Amino acid sequence: MALSADRPVGGLLFDRDDTLVIDVPYNADPHRVVPVPGARRAVQAAREAGLPVGVVTNQSVIARGGATREQVDATNARVDELVGPFAVWCVCPHGPEDDCPCRKPRPGLVLQAAERLGVPASDLVVIGDIGADVGAALAAGAQAILVPTPRTRPEEVDAAQTVAATIEEAVALALQHVPAATP
């Protein structure tokens, strides 16, 4: 499965947990951040291709009272240090019951990142590990690549239009659709 051949890729957005870093549930401790294999190389390849990169992440640990925004920001800064740098970080601090427009699978985080990057949402690809990541991308008019983990539900894999085995494979798929630079 592949991305749409007639849509250029102008930027990449990544989910944080289980996409860029090994998921530690509700992690707000920078010392517990461990990149997934290949994450740094994948993000570097995107940057070297001239693509802006960002992160879109639900962090309901804030709404649940398990961490402060400052703790989550410190954890994100550690991800940025180990895997990035990323041009933008868009974080939803709400819980599922808050009915906010930014929590994935709603499009708010993707649209916010598109605006901050100066890239139309339709030119973005969101790389994530669950159906909510794919849903947010599609709701915003972006494309998506699912990189399943053992926690990804089979129906999410079946429903995804584009699936990659690793983050490096996902970025390589996206890079095939980056328009050639004009002199």
Task: Output the average pLDDT for the chain.
Answer: 94
Q: How distant is the alpha carbon of residue 74 from its chain centre? A: 18
- What's the pLDDT band for 181 if we cut at 50, 70, 90? low
Give the model's pLDDT for residue 68. Answer: 92
According to DSSP, residue 68 is labeled -
Residues in a beta bridge with 12: 53, 125
The residue segments making up the domain with residue 102 are: 11-86+98-117+124-175
Out of 6, 17, 99, 123, pick the active-site residue: 17
Task: Indicate if 129 belongs to the active site.
Answer: no
Cα–Cα dist 31/126, whole Å: 26
Torsion over CA of 59, 64, 65 and 71, rounded to 10 degrees? -10
Convert the pLDDT of each residue in 146-172 to its tens digit. Answer: 999 999 999 999 999 999 999 999 999
Looking up residue 141, the CATH number of its domain turns out to be: 3.40.50.1000
User: Residue for token digits 């983990």?
Assistant: 149
Residue 30's CB is within 10 A of a number of other CB atoms, namely: 17
| Domain-embedded: residue 180 | no
The whole-angstrom separation of Cα 103 and Cα 109 is: 7
Tell me the mean pLDDT in the region 7-16: 95
Instruction: Find all residues with CB under 8 Å of 183, minimum gap 6, and list them.
Output: none
Q: Quick one: average pLDDT of 34-61? A: 96
In a domain, residue 4? The reply is no
Q: Taking a C-beta distance cutoff of 8 angstroms, is the pair 21, 38 a contact?
A: no
pLDDT at 182: 46
**Number of compact structural domains in the chain:** 1
Asked which of 19-33, 47-61, 104-118 is least confident by mean pLDDT, the reply is 19-33
pLDDT of residue 80: 96
Residue 6 known to be catalytic? no
Per-residue model confidence (pLDDT) at position 107: 97
